[in-house]
Amino acid sequence: MPELFLLLDKQGDRAVILVSACLLGNNCKYNGGNNYTKEIAKLERDIILPVCPEELGGLLTPRLPAQFDRADGEALLDGRCKVWDTNGNDVTHNFLSGAVKALAMAQRRGVHTAILKERSPSCGVSSVYITERGTAPVVGMGVTAALLKKNGIKVLSDEKLQQWLPLIERDL
In a domain, 7, yes or no: no
Q: Which domain holds residue 141?
A: 17-171
In a domain, 32, yes or no: yes
Residue 10 identity? K
Q: What is the tally of structural domains in the chain?
A: 1
Asked if residues 5 and 156 have their Cβ atoms less than 8 Å apart, the reply is: yes
In a domain, 11, yes or no: no
Cα 46 to Cα 14, 17, 38, distances in angstroms: 9, 9, 17
User: How many Cβ atoms sit within 10 Å of the Cβ of residue 58?
Assistant: 13
In a domain, 111, yes or no: yes
pLDDT digits (tens, 9 = 90+) for 144-157: 999 999 999 999 99
pLDDT digits (tens, 9 = 90+) for 30-74: 999 999 999 999 888 889 999 999 999 999 999 999 999 989 999
